[in-house]
Amino acid sequence: MLEVKNIESKYGNIQAISDVSLSVKRGELVAVVGANGAGKSTTMKTIMGLLKASAGQIIFDNKNITNLPAHDIVNLGIALVPEGRMVFPYFTVLENLNAGAYCIKNKAEVSEGLNYVFSLFPLLKDRLHQKAGTLSGGEQQMLAIGRALMSKPKLLLMDEPSLGLAPVIVDKIIELIQEIHQQGMTILLVEQDVYSALEIADRGYVMENGRIVLEGTANELMESALVQKKYLGIA
Amino acid sequence: MKDKKWPLPVFIVLLLFLLPSITGHNYYVLHVANICCIFTILAMGLNMLQGYTGLVSIGQAGFYAIGAYISGLLAVKLGLPFLICLFIGALVASIVGLALGLTTVRLYGGYLALVTVGFGRIIQLIAINWVEMTGGGEGLLGIPPAKLGTVVLTPEQFYYFALLVTVILFVITVNLVNSKIGRALIAIREQRIAANMMGIDVAGYRLIAFVIAACYSGIAGGLYAFFAGSLFPDYFSLPQSIIILIMVILGGAGTLYGPIIGAVLVTIGFEFLRPLQSYQMIIYGFGVVLVVMFMPYGIVGVARHLLQIMQGDRKGSETGVARG
């Protein structure tokens, strides 16, 4: 479904990622893990069209989407749950969700989407008219995920959904991601919490210094010496 | 934002149409009322940019000048009819707005503000230095009085016309704000990147906001040209741009009624504070500091807050507070 081929991306003159290739098949949950500054988020931003790829190709559903403007990519069916959640703080929960359905013209589909989001996050329904900025971090993350789902994406990109959340909440969010995946959503998940991410993923990639250094099924990665030593702290 | 209470605005508009009769056809009142209309249009335009999209412009006097000079020149040099002059003035201002929007598509905050200051100054300098065309510092003189068909408008009729234009533009603004465009602009103001991630074409909608602001300013300029009968470059100065900005902020940026209240209060305020001459700006500057610090949604925000307290709506009272 998504095929990223040898992409490169730069911030000014500084090369942030080079020769990154990865693929996501329909129905898969693929994790990209790695330390801070490894280039995971940069990869996401490049796929999403927020950063220009200076080389390489990104193919989505047999369509070349390299360097298309972000809003066009959203309309093609990729949604991003951005790093740091980025909910609209002065919008109510409902307004946030409606904003997520911006590219959907059909009103029936919007209310269908709302019902789906409420079935996943019943809590949001109770806070419908509360300003998003007054929600807790975990609730905001749920809102950000719900908002992304409102555009009925074929592929959901998630950038660090565990960032800045208490461990208990992280577990909950991870569980929810698994649930969304089990209901048929294709997901590309970027995470620093390597263990949590690999636990629910089908396959994974490990990034270091802007390159992919290891790839395989989640189990293979879990058992690899590199991941065990560097990220899981198992000697 | 969802003001569905139309009777009150309609009543106020009716009252405004009766203003000349109520005040005994006082020429001075008419003059101030005309200026109020013109500045309301300017403030409503800037509000789309500053209030709803979160883009600061301190160069609206530039678009104001373009609308005024184009309309004025078309009337003086080519003798075109009033409405056509007004239309072309607004059109040219919109096109220049589009151009400025395109060139500044990546700029935000202070950087954008600086560019708009430069833009306003450039337009003013053109008006000063292109003497053969604009008359330079001597001014563009002899703009004929406005005519609709064959009827030359009296000052009173001109006021009715200006008020009508203002009301039409207000209705357009209300519809814009409550449309898909308005929601997109507000989303961009609140969280630019997230808005982009929702499939909103940020660059495109920015341009729309720029063009709306420029177009409104152009219309205001055209009205001013025919109202004043002569144009002088020093009127379209940086302080003028700042005054428009003050109107928006004081009244309440990002609210529908804010710019109107701001424009009327500041215009009338200038009349009352006339003895202070240029010291007036100190008062306005100080006022803006206070407003920005204590009432981020301006007068409208405070009014809304008080209304909520009166209605005992505890939940809503948190909504009047700051905006990003």
In chain B, where are the structural domains located? 7-320
Contact A70 B318 (CB under 8 A): no
Strands A155-159 and A186-191: parallel
What does pLDDT average to over chain B? 88
CA distance A47 to A8: 11
Question: Domain B7-320, what fold?
Answer: ABC transporter involved in vitamin B12 uptake, BtuC (1.10.3470)
pTM: 0.83
Q: What domains appear along chain A, each with residue ranges and CATH number?
A: 1-77+156-235 (3.40.50.300), 84-152 (no CATH)
- How does residue B206 score in pLDDT terms, banded at 50, 70 and 90? very high
User: pLDDT, tens digit, for every residue of B228-269?
Assistant: 999 999 999 998 999 999 999 999 989 999 999 999 999 998
- Average pLDDT score over residue span A100-116: 89
- Residues facing residue A188 across a β-bridge: A30, A157
User: pLDDT, tens digit, for every residue of B177-199?
Assistant: 999 899 999 999 988 888 988 88
User: Helices B202-228 & B60-73, crossing angle to 10 degrees?
Assistant: 50
Q: What DSSP character marks residue A21?
A: E
Contact A50 B193 (CB under 8 A): yes
Q: Which of residues 147 through 186 in chain A touch B, CB cutoff 8 A?
A: 147-148, 151
Does the structure show a pLDDT above 80 at B319? no
User: Helices B258-272 & B280-294, crossing angle to 10 degrees?
Assistant: 150
User: pLDDT, tens digit, for every residue of B129-172?
Assistant: 999 989 888 889 989 988 888 888 888 889 999 999 999 999 99
Q: Is A128 on the interface with B (CB under 8 A)?
A: no
CA distance B287 to B105: 31
- Amino acid in position A138: G
Q: Is A127 on the interface with B (CB under 8 A)?
A: no
Count of pairs with CB atoms under 8 A, one residue in A, one in B: 63
Nearest to A35 by CA among A234, A174, A197: A197
